[in-house]
Amino acid sequence: MKTFKFNFYFLFLLTILVSGSCSLARRIQVHVINMLSSGFPMTLHCQSHDNDLGQSIVDDGEQVNWNFRVNFWGTTLFYCDVKWDSNNSYHFIAYDADRDHRRCRSECWWMISKEGLLYGYNQESEYWELVPFTNA
Ligand SMILES: *[C@@H]1O[C@H](CO)[C@@H](O)[C@H](O)[C@H]1NC(C)=O
C-alpha cells in the first residue's frame, strides 16, 4: 500500500513537471503591421494581464513584434489598442491562448489594411482572415 501511494504521487508529480515544461516551451511571436498605406504612423499599445508593452509608433509599412511563452494554465491573453487618426481608435485581442492555440501555433500575424480593416493570419488554414475590431 505504501509503495502504491509513493508511485502514485511520483507519477502525479512527473506528469505535472512534463506538462509544465511542454507548455513553457511554447514560444509565440506576435507581429502587427501597419498596412494603412497612408504614409502616416499608427499608435499601438499592447498588454497582457502582467506585461504592459507600452506604446509604440509604427510607421507606414513597418511592424511591431514581441514574443512570450504561453503560461502553464493556458490563459495567456494580449490585447491591443490601435489608433491612426482622431476618428479611428480600436481594440483587438492579439493573442488568446484559448482562441489561438491552433490559429497561431508559433506566430500570430496581424495587419491593419489600407481600408482600416484588421486581418489575422491563420496558421492552420493558411489564410488571412478578416477579424472585426472589438469596442475599446
Ligand atoms: C473625422 O471625422 C470628421 C467628421 O466626419 C471629419 O470632418 C474629419 O476630417 C475626420 N478627421 C480625420 C483625421 O479623418
Per-residue pLDDT of the chain (136 residues), as tens digits, is: 555 565 666 666 555 555 555 545 589 999 999 999 999 999 999 999 999 999 999 999 999 999 999 988 889 999 999 999 999 999 999 999 999 999 999 999 999 999 999 999 999 999 999 999 987 5
Residues with CB under 6 A from ligand 1: 85-87
Question: Tell me, what's the pLDDT at 19?
Answer: 55
Residue 75 identity (one-letter amino acid) = T
β-partners of residue 134 are 91
Ligand 1 atom, smallest distance to 85 CA: 13
Using alpha carbons only, what angle is made at residue 80 by residues 78 and 81, rounded to the nearest 5 degrees?
Answer: 160
Ligand 1 centroid to Cα of residue 20, in Å, is 50
Using alpha carbons only, what angle is made at residue 53 by residues 119 and 116, rounded to the nearest 5 degrees?
Answer: 25
Contact 63, 108 (CB under 8 A): no
Question: Tell me, what's the pLDDT at 26?
Answer: 82
Question: Tell me, what's the pLDDT at 39?
Answer: 96
Question: Tell me, what's the pLDDT at 2?
Answer: 57
Ligand 1 centroid to Cα of residue 88, in Å, is 9
Per the confidence metrics, is the pTM higher than 0.75?
Answer: yes
Q: Which stretches of 44-117 are DSSP H helices?
A: 97-100
Q: How far apart are CA 47 and CA 81, in angstroms?
A: 9
